[in-house]
């Protein structure tokens, strides 16, 4: 960094410190700034530094690099809103950033509803992460001070409850303070629009371009935190009746036959909220729907912002639901349901005897327990939604999934005489599809009730999965049998993922760009027949997707690979899919053989993709 560059950065840091409403982050920045200003003592020109001087030089360089990173610009809206590490500075999550964001959102809403009465109504929710409650209060204070009606959820609650309230309370916007499944040192900010601001199929969904850009522009115009008026009272704290309304609505999805209802009482479920806020609400929903034999993982039952029992609080990550699966094995459960910390995602684990592994000591894996891939759960829920829509003769019923999800849902929709739509990654796109009756993305997100929650909802998904499991149990069958039926009807679609986490975000773009410049000619020994640069959009497809960073490749045997940067984590993700033909009258052994063949192809593909990307 040049002397001029450091002087400019130093001035920005000092100005931010002077404007910071939080003494803790101000002190943290002050300490970094002091280190960044301090050079080695007694070092003469032309002399090599001694160890103490070298340590001071290194500390100063590290402090300046850290400040440069924190002050590279304001946090921007990504796939799931604002999200970042808790720390001082404009490129982190802190009270100063939240006050500015709330002020920008307020200005946007007042501009959109200029001259309209009554004033804008906004629902604000928060989870149990570090600082979530404070960020929610700061938001309420900023909005209230400029005349916006603020309805604050009564306690830390799941994101789907907030999304529900946007439509249930006819709010013009909703703000949820959460970082979902991110590490404990992160927090975030999701923004929904509805009421009089968005009146089409996207009413109640998260913001998309160009709205995010318009709000970002308003945030950038906020001159300082000190200039933003903040009230210390005047908002309404909602009562438990809004939670009751959400629970009633979700329980109403449990459309069970008498036989399935009887089986529901005998269905033993292990449930984990992964130290998040979904446990109590999900347990209540299941109980009121007739699922009374529910065991919560005791180590993960209650909210804890440090997530002490998991390395990473994302049910997709290896080991995250091991305690739940272990408890299922001990208690001879039928089903495992795992919510992520804000309960908008749901992982499902079942006993599949074909997946038994006897490596090592006796474990749940040795008993055949495995987590369903998000595409498997999506296919089961999509098939159920398709059958219900067809039975109800729903006009313009649409199933939707993201571009990186399995192609199986499109086959299910076609077979049922329904439409299928493919969207960009992120539920802000899926949930606004016109005519939506079910939508999902492979990252464990499912929307089974778009009429009430225009977002992924792990709790309603968990109940729907439990209902399907009860129906199958009443027939002497399991979710694995239902997956076999889908393979017989549409071919065996097997999906997987290769991902790499990067410390330096610049390496993410370089990795994708390298593949864009020199795509492979073969994958797993099969010729690559198509390479589509998604950055140019996909107007040639029926769905005509807008540009997004990534590539899509097909091979001559129908294998598909999509490579893209993650929108929520510092990762490059590669989404793999192979399709193995299965005869309509195939017996269980034939389906098992097809599954093993597909697994071998997928493993070979994954190994080749790792090599191609240098992972």
Q: Which two tokens stand for residue 65?
A: 């690099």
Q: What is the mean pLDDT of residues 196-208?
A: 95
DSSP 368-418: TEEEPPHHHHHHHHHHHHHHHHHHTT-TT-EEEEETTS-THHHHHHHHHT-
pLDDT range class, residue 287, cuts 50, 70, 90: very high
Calculate the alpha carbon distances from 112 to 162, 166, 454 in Å.
Answer: 22, 17, 21
Q: What is the pLDDT of residue 245?
A: 98
Residue that wins the pLDDT comparison between 43 and 271: 271
Q: What is the pLDDT of residue 495?
A: 97
For domain 375-457+480-487, the CATH superfamily is Alpha-D-Glucose-1,6-Bisphosphate, subunit A, domain 3 (3.40.120.10)
Q: Is residue 567 scored above 70 in pLDDT? A: no
Share of the chain above pLDDT 70, in %: 95
Q: What is the pLDDT of residue 508?
A: 80
| Closest of 130, 185, 178, 188 to residue 153, by C-alpha | 178
Q: What is the pLDDT of residue 361?
A: 47
Which residues are part of the catalytic machinery?
180
Q: Is residue 47 scored above 80 in pLDDT? A: no
Q: What is the mean pLDDT of residues 266-289?
A: 98
Q: pTM score, two decimals?
A: 0.94
pLDDT digits (tens, 9 = 90+) for 136-174: 999 999 999 999 999 999 999 999 999 999 999 999 999
Q: What is the pLDDT of residue 164?
A: 98
CATH class in words for 82-239: alpha beta
Calculate the alpha carbon distances from 400 to 316, 390, 442, 467, 606 in Å.
Answer: 21, 16, 12, 22, 26
Q: What is the pLDDT of residue 334?
A: 97
Calculate the alpha carbon distances from 367 to 231, 358, 388, 457 in Å.
Answer: 57, 9, 34, 30
Q: Is residue 355 scored above 90 in pLDDT? A: no
Residue that wins the pLDDT comparison between 430 and 49: 430
Instruction: Decide: 494 and 577 in contact? Cβ < 8 Å.
Output: yes
For residue 118, whether the previous peptide bond is cis, meaning omega lies within 30 degrees of 0, is yes
Q: What is the mean pLDDT of residues 25-35?
A: 97
Least confident of 42-46, 287-291, 397-401, 572-576: 42-46
Q: What is the mean pLDDT of residues 260-269?
A: 96
Phi, then psi, of 174 in degrees rounded to 5: -135, 140
Q: Give residue limits of the domains in the chain.
A: 3-70, 82-239, 244-372, 375-457+480-487, 491-613
Instruction: Decide: 281 and 342 in contact? Cβ < 8 Å.
Output: no
pLDDT range class, residue 501, cuts 50, 70, 90: confident
Q: How many CB atoms lie within 10 A of CB 283?
A: 19
pLDDT digits (tens, 9 = 90+) for 436-480: 999 999 999 999 999 999 999 999 999 999 999 999 999 999 999
Q: Do domains 82-239 and 375-457+480-487 have the same CATH topology?
A: yes
Q: What is the pLDDT of residue 8?
A: 95
pLDDT digits (tens, 9 = 90+) for 356-402: 766 544 566 678 899 999 999 999 999 999 999 988 887 789 999 99
**CATH no., domain 491-613:** 3.30.310
Mean predicted lDDT score pLDDT of the chain = 93
Residue 542 CA to chain centroid, in angstroms?
26
Q: CA-CA distance, 132 to 536, in Å (whole number)?
A: 38
Q: Is residue 429 scored above 80 in pLDDT? A: yes
Q: What is the mean pLDDT of residues 108-118?
A: 95
**CATH no., domain 244-372:** 3.40.120.10
Q: CA-CA distance, 98 to 135, in Å (whole number)?
A: 6
């Amino acid at each position: 960094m040049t002397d001029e560059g450091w002087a400019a950065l130093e001035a920005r840091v000092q100005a931010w410190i002077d404007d910071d409403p939080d003494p803790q982050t101000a002190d943290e920045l002050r300490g970094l700034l002091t280190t960044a200003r301090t050079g080695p003592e007694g070092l003469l020109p032309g002399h090599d530094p001694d160890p103490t001087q070298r340590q001071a030089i290194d500390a100063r360089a590290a402090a300046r690099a850290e400040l440069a990173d924190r002050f590279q610009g304001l946090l921007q809206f990504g796939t799931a809103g604002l999200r970042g590490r808790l720390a001082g500075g404009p490129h982190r999550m802190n009270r100063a950033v939240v006050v500015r964001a709330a002020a920008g959102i307020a200005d946007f809403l007042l501009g959109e509803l200029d001259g309209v009465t009554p004033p804008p109504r906004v629902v604000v929710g928060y989870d149990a992460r570090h600082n979530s409650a404070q960020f929610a209060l700061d938001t309420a204070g900023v909005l209230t001070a400029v005349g916006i009606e603020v309805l604050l959820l009564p306690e830390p609650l799941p994101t789907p409850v907030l999304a529900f309230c946007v439509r249930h309370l006819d709010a013009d916007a909703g703000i949820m303070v959460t970082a979902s499944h991110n590490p404990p040192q992160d927090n975030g900010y999701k923004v929904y629009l509805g009421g009089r601001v968005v009146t089409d199929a996207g009413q109640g969904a998260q913001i998309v371009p160009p709205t995010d850009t318009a709000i970002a522009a308003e945030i950038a115009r906020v001159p300082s935190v000190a200039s933003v008026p903040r009230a210390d009272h005047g908002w309404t704290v909602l009562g438990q009746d809004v939670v009751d309304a959400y629970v009633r609505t979700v329980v109403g999805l449990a459309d069970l036959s008498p036989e399935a209802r009887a089986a529901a009482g005998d269905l033993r479920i292990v449930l984990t909220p992964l130290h998040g806020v979904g446990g109590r609400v999900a347990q209540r929903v299941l109980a009121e729907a007739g699922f009374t034999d529910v065991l919560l993982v005791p180590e993960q039952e209650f909210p804890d912002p440090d997530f002490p029992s998991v390395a990473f609080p994302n049910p997709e990550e290896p080991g995250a639901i091991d305690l739940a699966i272990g408890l299922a094995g001990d208690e001879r459960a039928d089903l495992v349901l795992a919510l992520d910390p804000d309960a908008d995602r749901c992982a499902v684990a079942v006993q599949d005897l074909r997946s038994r592994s006897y490596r090592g000591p006796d474990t749940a894996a040795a008993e055949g327990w495995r987590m369903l891939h998000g595409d498997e759960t999506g296919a089961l829920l999509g098939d159920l939604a398709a059958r219900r829509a067809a039975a109800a003769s729903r006009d313009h019923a649409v199933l939707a999934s993201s571009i990186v999800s399995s192609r199986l849902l499109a086959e299910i929709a076609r077979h049922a005489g329904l439409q299928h739509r493919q969207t960009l990654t992120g539920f802000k796109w899926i949930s606004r599809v016109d005519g939506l009756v079910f939508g999902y993305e492979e990252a464990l997100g499912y929307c089974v009730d778009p009429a009430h929650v225009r977002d992924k909802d792990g709790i309603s998904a968990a109940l729907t999965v439990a209902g399907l499991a009860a129906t199958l149990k009443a027939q002497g069958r399991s979710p694995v049998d239902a997956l076999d039926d889908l393979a017989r009807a549409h071919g065996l679609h097997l999906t997987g993922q290769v991902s790499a986490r990067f410390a330096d975000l610049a390496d993410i773009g370089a990795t994708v760009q390298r593949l864009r410049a020199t795509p492979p000619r073969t994958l797993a020994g099969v010729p690559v027949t198509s390479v589509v640069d998604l950055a140019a959009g996909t107007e040639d497809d029926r769905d005509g997707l807008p540009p997004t960073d990534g590539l899509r490749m097909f091979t001559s045997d129908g294998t598909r690979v999509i490579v893209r940067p993650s929108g929520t984590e510092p990762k490059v993700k590669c989404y793999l899919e192979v399709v193995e033909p299965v005869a309509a009258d195939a017996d269980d052994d034939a389906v098992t053989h097809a599954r093993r063949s597909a697994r071998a192809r997928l493993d070979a593909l994954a190994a080749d993709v790792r090599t191609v990307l240098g992972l």
